[in-house]
Structure 1
Amino acid sequence: MTLDDHKSHLAELGKFLGQFRAEGTAQQEEVRFNEELFDEMNAKIDASIHHNGWFNRENVCFALQQWSKALTTRNLKLWLDEYDLSKSGGKTVGIVMAGNIPLVGIHDFISVLVANHSVQIRQSSNDQLLMPVIAKYLMKLDSRYENRIQFTKEQLQGFDAVIATGSNNTARYFEYYFKKKPAIIRKNRNSVAILSGKETSEELQALGEDIFRYYGLGCRNVSKLYVPENYHFDQFFEAIYDWNPIINRDKYANNYDYNKAVYLMSEFQLLENGFLMLKEDSSFGSPIATLFYEFYTSEEDLKQKLKENREQLQCIVSREQTADSVAFGQTQKPQLWDYADDVDTIAFLASL
């Protein structure tokens, strides 16, 4: 299968995924194989919500929409044309997927395919309903995918390389179990935002998307703020208020109540608005419904601190746009070339 074949098929997949929206689905006549798979995908979206209490239709469809926007002919060309994949292929690559947010492993999945390898997938039990429909759609487009895509609930077997994503604890297991194979092992990471106090209300509203999308469960979700000394949070709280319905979600509310009780019993000082707690803390990873913050006195010192801890960070959100920063509201809208942990997955796969 040529690279142009893959790009064409993935662009078709993007059109298929774009039909599913939180406000309502609508079949588009030009999308292929809707008769066979449109209703199945719609049913699996609903089933995934019942299967995983952290999923809801808005977030699942948000993920599908972002992948639809990413998988365009233009984006696929921009992503892949810089690589020489003429000699790539022929291996079996195992993928151990996480399940914290919907379709979190899809980038690894399509990367293995465009590198002309076969893929063996072990999904998380928290997110195992959507990816098989995507694989089935690709197989409808081209039957050659049938021999290249395998799902398993057992341990991976007969693979030549592996991409595994999990917590810091599971990463130690992965590093031991896969030590004899070429591997990308991903651990816990968190994202932070740097505020200067000069942000507009619109920028802070966009930051709410980075904090609350997927309930803050993703590594690209902002879990900590860096703010200048004497920063006042009134404008921040006002800007994010539109996210207040999140407290009506049972699992989120349970975490909010539990963490608030723990903090109060420990006599920690908190700022809170009824659906988000702010706690001064030097750590990067905050619990659900909590956002850590830390004051800084010098921008240069802060940049050095973040540089020293770069391996713990996924995204740095900032008004100052640099090669290492992400704009407000964009953390959950990555491009195909925004690699997790800054590890070039295609280069790794091409080297096998």
Structure 2
Amino acid sequence: MTLETKKSVFVELGKFLSQFSEDNTLKKNNVLFNDLFFDNFIDLIKLSQSHNGWYTPEQVYFSIQSWSEALTEENLNQWLSDYDFKIEKSKNIALILAGNIPLVGFHDFLSVLITGHKVLVKTSSNDQHLLPFLAKYIIAIEPEFADSIHFVDGKLENFDAVIATGSNNTARYFEYYFKDKPSIIRKSRNSVAVLTGNETKEQLTSLGEDIFRYFGLGCRNVSKLFVPKDYSFVAFFEAIFEYQDVIHYEKYANNYDYNKAVFLMSNFKLLDNGFLTLKEDKSHASPISSVFYEYYENINDLQIRLQSESEQIQCIVSDSVIENSIDFGQTQKPALWDYADNVDTISFLLTT
């Protein structure tokens, strides 16, 4: 199968996904195999929350729309144009996927197939249905993919390399277990935002998207704020007020109540607006419904520190005051070439 054929398959998948949104799902006449897949996909989206309580329709639709926007011919060409796709032999690549947000492992899945390898997928128990459904759609478009896609329930066997995503604890297990195989082992990371006090209300509102999307469960969610000395959080709280409905979701509310109680019993000083707590803390990893903050004195010193802590950080949000930072509101919209942990998956797969 040629690279152009593979790209065209994923472009068709993008067209299929583009039909589904929370406010305006609309069946299109020019989408392949719609009669077989359209209604079933709507049913699966509706059932997703019963499979994983965090997978509300809003969050699942957001993930689907994000992938529909990414899977265009233009994006695929831009992403892949600089690589040499001459691999000597197709290999079996094992994927161990996380399940914290919908379709979190799709990029690895796409990368393996687009490089001409076969994929052995071990899904998370928290996300066992969405990716297999999309795999069936891909195979319907190009039956030749059937021999390249395998989902594994039990032990992974007969693979040549592995990409595994998990916590810091599971990463140690992965590193030992797969020590004799080429691998990408992903650990826990968090994202941070650097504020100066000069941000507009629109920027701070967009920061709310970086914090609350997927209820803060993703590694690209902002869990830590760096703010200048004497920073006032009034404008921040006013700007994120439109996200207040998050507290009406029971699982989030339970976390808010529990974590707030733990903080208060420990006599920590909190800032609280009724659906988010802010706690001064040096850690990057805050619990659900809470964001940590830390004061800085010099932006250049902060940049040096963040560079030294790069292995703990997935992405940095700022108004261009930090090198290689991204704009407010963009953390959950990575491009195809925005690799997790800054590890080039395509290069790894082409040279393994």
Does TM, normalized by the shorter one, top 0.5?
yes
Partner of 1:29: 29
Aligned 8 A contact 1:316 1:326 in 2: yes
1:126 lines up with 2:123 in the alignment: no
CA distance in 2, matches of 1:34, 1:322: 45
The AA in structure 1 aligned to 2:25 is: T
After superposition, where does 1:55-204 map in structure 2 within 5 Å? 55-87=55-87, 89-204=89-204
With normalisation by structure 2, the TM-score equals 0.99
Aligned 8 A contact 1:164 1:185 in 2: yes
1:322–1:116 distance in 2 versus 1, CA, 3 Å: farther
Aligned 8 A contact 2:7 2:76 in 1: yes
The AA in structure 2 aligned to 1:33 is: F
Partner of 2:221: 221
Post-superposition CA distance 1:71-113 (Å, at most 9, x none): 0000000000110002255100000000000000000000000
The AA in structure 2 aligned to 1:308 is: S
What is the DSSP-based 3-state SS (H/G/I as helix, E as strand, rest coil) of the residue aligned with 2:185?
strand
Aligned 8 A contact 1:88 1:349 in 2: no
CA distance in 2, matches of 1:31, 1:323: 41
1:276 lines up with 2:279 in the alignment: no
CA distance in 2, matches of 1:86, 1:321: 40
After superposition, where does 1:274-313 map in structure 2 within 5 Å? 274-313=274-313
After superposition, where does 1:45-56 map in structure 2 within 5 Å? 45-56=45-56
Q: Which range moved further: 19-28 or 244-253?
A: 19-28
The AA in structure 1 aligned to 2:20 is: F
Partner of 1:253: 253
CA distance in 2, matches of 1:153, 1:318: 42
Identity of aligned residues (%): 57
CA distance in 1, matches of 2:244, 2:295: 25
CA distance in 2, matches of 1:145, 1:61: 26
What is the DSSP-based 3-state SS (H/G/I as helix, E as strand, rest coil) of the residue aligned with 1:325?
coil
1:33–1:321 distance in 2 versus 1, CA, 3 Å: farther
Q: CA deviation at 1:48?
A: 1.3
After superposition, where does 1:4-43 map in structure 2 within 5 Å? 4-43=4-43
1:46–1:88 distance in 2 versus 1, CA, 3 Å: farther
The AA in structure 1 aligned to 2:215 is: Y
The AA in structure 2 aligned to 1:232 is: S
CA distance in 1, matches of 2:304, 2:88: 38
CA distance in 2, matches of 1:323, 1:138: 39
Q: CA deviation at 1:24?
A: 3.8
Aligned 8 A contact 1:89 1:350 in 2: no
What is the DSSP-based 3-state SS (H/G/I as helix, E as strand, rest coil) of the residue aligned with 1:77?
helix
Post-superposition CA distance 1:133-158 (Å, at most 9, x none): 11011101111100000001112110
The AA in structure 2 aligned to 1:346 is: I
CA distance in 1, matches of 2:324, 2:126: 31
Partner of 1:262: 262
Unpaired segments ≥5 residues, structure 1? none
Aligned 8 A contact 1:88 1:351 in 2: no
Post-superposition CA distance 1:166-205 (Å, at most 9, x none): 0001111111111110000000000000000000000001
Q: How many residues align?
A: 352
The AA in structure 2 aligned to 1:190 is: N
CA distance in 2, matches of 1:262, 1:90: 52
Aligned 8 A contact 1:321 1:327 in 2: no
Aligned 8 A contact 2:93 2:160 in 1: yes
Post-superposition CA distance 1:105-136 (Å, at most 9, x none): 00000000011000000000101111111101
The AA in structure 1 aligned to 2:163 is: I
The AA in structure 1 aligned to 2:68 is: S
Q: CA deviation at 1:22?
A: 1.1
Q: CA deviation at 1:305?
A: 0.7
With normalisation by structure 1, the TM-score equals 0.99
CA distance in 2, matches of 1:31, 1:174: 40
CA distance in 1, matches of 2:292, 2:312: 15
Q: CA deviation at 1:279?
A: 0.2
CA distance in 2, matches of 1:180, 1:46: 42
Unpaired segments ≥5 residues, structure 2? none
1:39–1:199 distance in 2 versus 1, CA, 3 Å: same
Q: CA deviation at 1:28?
A: 0.7
CA distance in 1, matches of 2:133, 2:53: 21
Aligned 8 A contact 2:93 2:118 in 1: yes
Post-superposition CA distance 1:17-56 (Å, at most 9, x none): 1111111421111111000111111111112111111110
